[in-house]
Amino acid sequence: MKNSLKINLSPSPATETDELFSQFLSPEGAFIILGEQSSDTLVMPLEPNASTMFGPRGACLIAENGPLWVSDTGHHRLLGWKQRPETDGQPADWVIGQPNFHQEGQNAKGTPAANTVSVPTGICPCGEGLAVSDAWNHRVLIWKKLPQDSNVPADIVLGQANFSQNQLNRGEIETAADRMHWPYGVFYHQGRLFVADTGNRRVLVWNQLPEVNGQPADFVLGQSGMNLRDENGGGTPTAASMRWPHSLAIWQDNLVLADAGNNRLMIWDGIPTENNAPCKLVLGQRNFQDVELNQGVYWPSSSTLNMPYGVAVTNDWLIAADTANSRLLGWTGTVDTGISAQGLIGQPHFRSKGENGSYGAPNRHSLSWPYGITICGNTAIIADSGNNRVLLWYLNS
């Protein structure tokens, strides 16, 4: 049974009315915290080791018992645990992107290679392997088999012709089906690979898992052609356009995109198969044309979003990481454009937006700029970037 709470909102700045919301995650809070820093050390430099993280933006459990992989974005590395961690602060077993756990720097302070990264973000299981958005190398890395050691080189690179190149759009002014600019999100579903090619304001789609380096995408969403890259297609926002696409999911057999720059989620009718297919509805805005953060109001509500970077689904819930509002929002049942969320995590009420609930110290229930969320079985994996940590949090039963 879902746990509904009745919240008395403070008269200012929130409303004086009562609101109900459901907790779609366990009310006990995160059961494992990785990378957590105590409040008295937050001002100290986050030196890399096997237990620390700096602004992680993506994480995924491959299976309920592990392995776990984290994009430790600020340290320019991937951290891997052989099994799902059992204690807070448990050190990682593997590192990819740095020669050891104690070094950092883009591409290990060298040149790009098959086992280096620069601002890694989205990460997901991909067939029998792993895919990572290597954003500032303007590429996506694919391992055909799950890495089971440190610094295992990737097998395939997309967005670049080879592993040693890393110029945006391969150094050209125009983009194309085989080029990328700041790809922040990657998602794999039933043979299809989706990449949120954020800097080109589009989503690239491969109908089958790519097999060769630099393989061009089969079609594009967000632009009317593979060579175009203007935000919102060069015009006003529409049901087909994007400004800052970031992450993707499939909910009830429909494609969902977190379009952070337009402060909305886009939901298609099914999974599109053609260039520039428009979505069916949006959440976070009243219509396809409006795109202001929190619908132009400083304080959020149950129907607004502020730079939603993450999206994930359970059997019942569609969940958005409403990043700049430092909260998770959840929708369940039938949705339509602009409908209010029923679920809330990380804030005491829908009109609160402070980091860690009220700009306090982090705890097992709080969030600060959560960038990514994935679901595996009964576990939500949250990249709580502003707190430099990853949370493992059970779904509410």
Condensed to tens digits (0 to 9), the pLDDT of residues 116-160 reads: 999 999 999 999 999 999 999 999 999 999 999 999 999 999 999
3-state secondary structure of 169: helix
Could you identify the residue written with the tokens 């740095």?
98
- Residue 261: DSSP 8-state: G
3-state secondary structure of 64: coil
Residue 85 domain flag: yes
pLDDT at 79: 98
Instruction: Name the CA radius of gyration of the chain, rounded.
Output: 20
- Give the dihedral of Cα atoms 136, 138, 142, 147; nearest 10 deg: -20
**Structure tokens, 243:** 């400004």
pLDDT at 37: 62
Ranges of residues in the chain with a pLDDT under 50 are 1-18, 39-43
Tell me which residue range forms the domain holding 383. 22-394
CA distances (Å), 26 to each of 51, 90, 129, 249, 329, in order?
Answer: 25, 21, 30, 22, 14
Number of domains in the chain: 1
**Structure tokens, 354:** 């402070």
CA pair distance 33, 27, nearest whole angstrom:
15
Cβ neighbours of 360 (radius 10 Å): 12
Residue type, 358: S
CA pair distance 366, 390, nearest whole angstrom:
12
Contact 144, 209 (CB under 8 A): no
Residue 1 domain flag: no
Residue 17 domain flag: no
- Determine the length of the chain: 397
**Phi and psi at residue 136, to the nearest 5°:** -85, -5
Residue 7 domain flag: no
CA pair distance 366, 359, nearest whole angstrom:
10
Residue 370 domain flag: yes
Residue 99 domain flag: yes
3-state secondary structure of 394: strand
CA pair distance 114, 107, nearest whole angstrom:
10
What CATH number is attached to the domain comprising 77? 2.120.10.30
Residue 14 domain flag: no
CA distances (Å), 203 to each of 71, 213, 396, in order?
Answer: 21, 19, 32
Whether the bond into 67 is cis, omega within 30 of 0: yes
Edge-to-edge strands of the sheet including 3-8?
3-8, 18-23, 343-345, 327-332, 317-322, 308-313
pLDDT at 45: 58
Residue type, 133: S
pLDDT digit string (tens) for 352-382? 999 998 778 899 999 999 999 999 999 999 9
Angle among Cα 289, 295, 301 to the nearest 5 degrees reads 140
**Phi and psi at residue 109, to the nearest 5°:** 60, 30
pLDDT at 44: 54
3-state secondary structure of 143: strand
CA pair distance 366, 7, nearest whole angstrom:
17
CA pair distance 301, 352, nearest whole angstrom:
8
Residue 177 domain flag: yes
Widest pairwise Cα distance in the chain? 59
pLDDT at 188: 98
Could you identify the residue written with the tokens 């061009």?
216
